[in-house]
Structure 1
Amino acid sequence: MTKKRPNSAPPTHERAYSHERAHSDAHPWYALDHAALIYPPILSDRVSAYYRIQATLDEPVDTELLQTALDTVRPRFPYFQTELRKGFFWFFFERNDQPQRIAQDSKFPMQKLSTKRRGVYLYRVRTHENRVALEMCHILTDGYGALIFFRTLLAEYYRLQGIPTPYGDGVLDPAGAPEDYEWEDAFSRYATPGAPKPTRGKSAWHLPGMALPIHTMRVTTGELSLSAALAKAKTHGATLTVYLSSVYLAALQDVQDADPQCADRRKRKKLRLQVPANLRNFFPSRTLRNFSLYALPDLDTRLGHYEFGEIVTRVKAMMTLAFDPKELRRTITRNVTTTKNPFIRIIPLAIKNPMMRAVYKTHGENLYTSLSTNVGQAKLPESFADRVKRIDVILPSTPGLKTVAGILSHRDSLSVSFGSVIERNDLERAFFTRLVKDGLRVKVESNLPLGHGKEHTNAVL
């Protein structure tokens, strides 16, 4: 007999853990993880909270075969087969039994789906010619969880073509049962009661520029050699993430220097970059829900112009400190204890939502100039890795974080994709120009060049 949802509210976070560990057929609803709670109140036509992983294949996608693959793998990921529901105190997940159909791709990706309609999933699979894309809402999972779902989907697609893939190494057996650890809200496990709160920074400088029309996002992708980029990073004594984050901050400095509003250096605000990281690299967990935090390397250009070597040194030091497990626990603990605060818990959602939107603005977007995440290597199985030419990750821009970047590699192809909701593209230009001046060869393409020209351009820098 199916368990009925109570009329009053979804489970509290303490009670929800048992629901997270159970199969969805026994427990048709469960709580959002602590990283996901901020997203439902801020969803709008300008803020979708979707990100995208897309693969360019060596031949056109067989949509019917991909649909069969999706239908096969979906039951293995029950925590994604849900819809967002609104309770009296909190949003929660409820099992979604509606069919999930492959959708035709759009020129402008990651548009928000209405969560007010029943039967709407928080992810979608899209295709166009040689491209297959997974658009995943951050309410469900982070890049780690999305990549495992995407790998498993591609593996099943090629298995149906007669190319078998061993299970394991990030490819799950569709016939297998979900493990308990996949449902875990790992933030709760690593919160440390009594830990001091992290220091809150001041508001950062934001990119100027006129907004593009609503539902429009420019995507600019640069493709370069992974081995060449790794070698270049090594010459600077940096990891790839530190190197690309340093180039990003240097490009932001170039844009700020050229802004007439920043001519008086004394009145400038800091340049601050949000650099997320997979917490599974620091704390043992195999959850397929959200489990990531970020570093915030910055430049205070009131002190003068930073040379690139200075930026690398600064970014390396700040990221090393930010990703110290003790420092990470401070932020984890603050986030968990805030949601467990008895006063906050009893506030009705109608009042809580505007409060959370205000918190997101003051403690979130206002503090960052931009965001850049390096998801790492796609790690596709050897059985079909050569059938995939390139993989990209694209992040959603917002009115606050107007231009952001996602980085992902496959074989020797390193993809850096910018998503932007403003007309000017001087940050993208500055970033790729700096890579070229550092000796790297970059192929750039965009769905919407400056001036709303052709839909697709290619340039080799």
Structure 2
Amino acid sequence: MRKRKVNEFTEYLNHLNDSDVKAVKAFMVNFKQHMNLTLSEEKKLRKDLEGALMYYNAIGVAVTEALRRLDNENLGGFYARPPLLYYALDDAAKIYPLSMKHGFQAVFRLSANLFDEVVPQLLQIALTFTIKRFPRFATTLKKGFFWHYLDANKQRYGIEKEEHLPCRPIKVATTGSKSFRVLYYKNRVSVEFFHCLTDGRGGLVFLQTLLDTYLRLFGVEGQTHPSILDINATPLPEEDANEFKRTTVTKRSGFKEKRALQMSGKIENIRPTQILHFRLDATDLYKVAKRYGVTITAYILGLILLASRFATDAKDGDIAIQVPVDLRKYYPSSTLANFSLYGGIRMPITDITTMEELLPLVKDQLAIVTSYEKMSEMMYSAHRMNKDVRGFPLFLKNPIAKLAYGIMGEAIFTTTFSNLGIISAPDHFNDYIESYDFVLGPPEVNRAATTLVTYNNIATLTITKSTKDPSFEEEIYRLLVKDGLAINIEGSAVYERKSRVSREKD
């Protein structure tokens, strides 16, 4: 007769002493008191806790210490209360659900590269504890009569092992769907966000808080830090604020722009075709930019303009770069909703010659298009446009939005460059986190999108490709080397046939 297979957790309990068994059972009873989910969701969460306890046992952590780290107080009342809240989308977010198409969605990714491999059992618990501090993220995107909105959704938010293309569309139309996903692969923890939920700064707060919670589950206790939220603190109303109405400016910014040149590579059906990370010494990068008399942002914009010219067959027209601007630098805010707009750098292709001639022009344009005055005008315009169309039913807003929000259309830009800046983190992160990545999802019309993020003196320049043509990244690589910068290239080629830049690493 075949013996019944003993449950792993039962085996774990069988190897504990009576005192520890009693403590674990009391812990599980207390866990039950924190639950008001469906039975299937509750079972998943219980299974997660069992997995974490067994992991702790395997690495020699005492039961009492394991239970302390997994304290059910970290669940709060989040899973015990019914989902009653809903959140209006901010003025920048409202365009994103309207602009969704089959196979295309505005998704971005933030990643931390750890020194050690990710332990999924503890990352899952970290997400379970962290999500309650971000109720705006624990939602499902739904259609209202006039606008989309975020509806509270109480469930187990699960991590995923990374097995698919980065920044693939998130299924937001299904029942109980999420607008973000947490992924892990080897030593990398990634969070991908649908842009209607948050922007890069809000997403970074979520990732930093998740990482801090994850490290605490290993017994790492660090000091409080402004970039990290206390997971057991009460969420604040200002964290959900639509800040676009704050400006006192009443002048509208002119959004209308003519079409920009596009790079000449064929857009592939499967995107991204490749994601490349150029790891640079941040101090050296700063010195090169200073040598030209510009900021790092202006320097990278110069590289992109030259590389874009190199990657197109066009001889006339403008190359334009979309440059997102975090409005919190002008209007200090704690909001986790979107609070960013963009400035546009635009140059006739015939004026794009050398870095020496180009960078003074970039510097002057950048100062104007990202200024407080210009951003305030755009804030007012974005807020007014939403008010102008608010009375139209949602099914009529789609064509109206495409007309009114020409600002968002990719055709008026050649590419995008988003600089998230220097990541501020507590000191103890340095012992566990090597670098960060910031990835924009594959564009629909543009052939490439570029980002920069800096941590621990590592500046990571990332290029997301929608074409196999390697001209753009090869020219950026050549220009960086010409300026004396050492580059460590990491690539995630989707296709077997890699670009020559990818092979530079081999």
- Shared fold per TM-score greater than 0.5: yes
Q: Distance in 2 between matches of 1:453 and 1:181?
A: 46
Matched, 1:277 2:292: no
Name the structure 2 match of 1:227. 283
SS at match of 1:125: strand
Name the structure 2 match of 1:332. 379
Contact persistence 1:249–1:298 (CA under 8 A): no
Amino acid of the structure 2 residue aligned with 1:389: E
* 2:135 pairs with one of 78, 86, 91: 78
Matched, 1:94 2:151: yes
SS at match of 1:78: coil
SS at match of 1:211: coil
- The structure whose residues are more often helix, as a share, is 2
User: Pairwise mapping of residues 104-115 of structure 1 onto structure 2 (< 5 A)?
Assistant: 104-115=161-172
Q: Distance in 2 between matches of 1:450 and 1:216?
A: 10
Taking structure 1 as reference, are residues 216 and 404 closer, same or farther at Cα in structure 2, changes over 3 Å only?
A: closer
Contact persistence 1:227–1:412 (CA under 8 A): yes
Q: Report which stretch shifted further, 107-116 or 402-411.
A: 107-116
Name the structure 1 match of 2:122. 65
Question: Could you tell me how far 1:117 is from its partner in structure 2?
Answer: 0.5
SS at match of 1:111: coil
Question: Could you tell me how far 1:192 is from its partner in structure 2?
Answer: 2.9
Contact persistence 1:46–1:215 (CA under 8 A): no
* 1:149 pairs with one of 183, 201, 206: 206
Name the structure 2 match of 1:365. 410
Contact persistence 1:65–1:157 (CA under 8 A): yes
Name the structure 2 match of 1:345. 390
Q: Distance in 2 between matches of 1:168 and 1:414?
A: 22
* 1:444 pairs with one of 489, 492, 495: 489
Question: Could you tell me how far 1:446 is from its partner in structure 2?
Answer: 1.8
* 1:133 pairs with one of 183, 190, 215: 190
Q: Distance in 2 between matches of 1:318 and 1:231?
A: 22
Question: Could you tell me how far 1:28 is from its partner in structure 2?
Answer: 1.3
Matched, 1:294 2:342: yes
SS at match of 1:339: helix
User: Pairwise mapping of residues 153-232 of structure 1 onto structure 2 (< 5 A)?
Assistant: 153-190=210-247, 192-193=249-250, 195-198=251-254, 200-232=256-288
Q: Distance in 2 between matches of 1:43 and 1:305?
A: 34
Name the structure 2 match of 1:310. 357
Deviations 1:424-446 (A, max 9, x none): 12111111211111110112222
Matched, 1:435 2:480: yes
Taking structure 1 as reference, are residues 401 and 68 closer, same or farther at Cα in structure 2, changes over 3 Å only?
A: same
Aligned length: 426
Contact persistence 1:395–1:405 (CA under 8 A): yes
Query: Which stretches in structure 1 are left out of the alignment for 5+ residues?
Result: 1-22
Q: Distance in 2 between matches of 1:372 and 1:385?
A: 27
Amino acid of the structure 2 residue aligned with 1:311: L
Name the structure 1 match of 2:421. 376
SS at match of 1:372: strand
Matched, 1:423 2:471: no
SS at match of 2:398: helix
Taking structure 1 as reference, are residues 72 and 451 closer, same or farther at Cα in structure 2, changes over 3 Å only?
A: closer
Amino acid of the structure 2 residue aligned with 1:201: E
Amino acid of the structure 2 residue aligned with 1:162: G
Q: Highest relative contact order (Cα 8 Å, sep 6+), 1 or 2?
A: 1
Taking structure 1 as reference, are residues 330 and 25 closer, same or farther at Cα in structure 2, changes over 3 Å only?
A: farther
Name the structure 2 match of 1:3. none
Matched, 1:397 2:442: yes
Contact persistence 1:108–1:217 (CA under 8 A): no
Question: Could you tell me how far 1:104 is from its partner in structure 2?
Answer: 1.0
SS at match of 2:427: coil
Amino acid of the structure 1 residue aligned with 2:380: T
Amino acid of the structure 2 residue aligned with 1:367: I
Taking structure 1 as reference, are residues 332 and 202 closer, same or farther at Cα in structure 2, changes over 3 Å only?
A: same
Question: Could you tell me how far 1:360 is from its partner in structure 2?
Answer: 4.7
Name the structure 2 match of 1:388. 433
Question: Could you tell me how far 1:244 is from its partner in structure 2?
Answer: 1.0
SS at match of 1:79: coil
Q: Distance in 1 between matches of 2:361 and 2:207?
A: 35
Q: Distance in 1 between matches of 2:407 and 2:220?
A: 50
Which has the larger Rg? 2
Question: Could you tell me how far 1:276 is from its partner in structure 2?
Answer: 1.0
Amino acid of the structure 1 residue aligned with 2:366: M
Contact persistence 2:352–2:358 (CA under 8 A): no
Question: Could you tell me how far 1:361 is from its partner in structure 2?
Answer: 5.5
Once the two structures are aligned, what percentage of the paired residues are identical?
A: 28
Question: Could you tell me how far 1:306 is from its partner in structure 2?
Answer: 2.4
Name the structure 2 match of 1:354. 399
SS at match of 1:295: strand
Deviations 1:339-366 (A, max 9, x none): 111xx22222112113324555575212
SS at match of 1:346: coil
Matched, 1:246 2:302: yes
SS at match of 1:54: strand
Deviations 1:112-134 (A, max 9, x none): 12211011111110001111101
Question: Could you tell me how far 1:384 is from its partner in structure 2?
Answer: 2.4
Deviations 1:80-129 (A, max 9, x none): 11110011211111001121100011351111122110111111100011
SS at match of 2:118: coil
Q: Distance in 2 between matches of 1:117 and 1:203?
A: 35
SS at match of 2:481: helix
SS at match of 1:405: strand
Question: Could you tell me how far 1:199 is from its partner in structure 2?
Answer: 5.4
Query: Which stretches in structure 2 are left out of the alignment for 5+ residues?
Result: 1-77
Deviations 1:192-223 (A, max 9, x none): 33x13325221110112222233544111111
Q: Distance in 2 between matches of 1:394 and 1:44?
A: 20
Name the structure 2 match of 1:29. 86
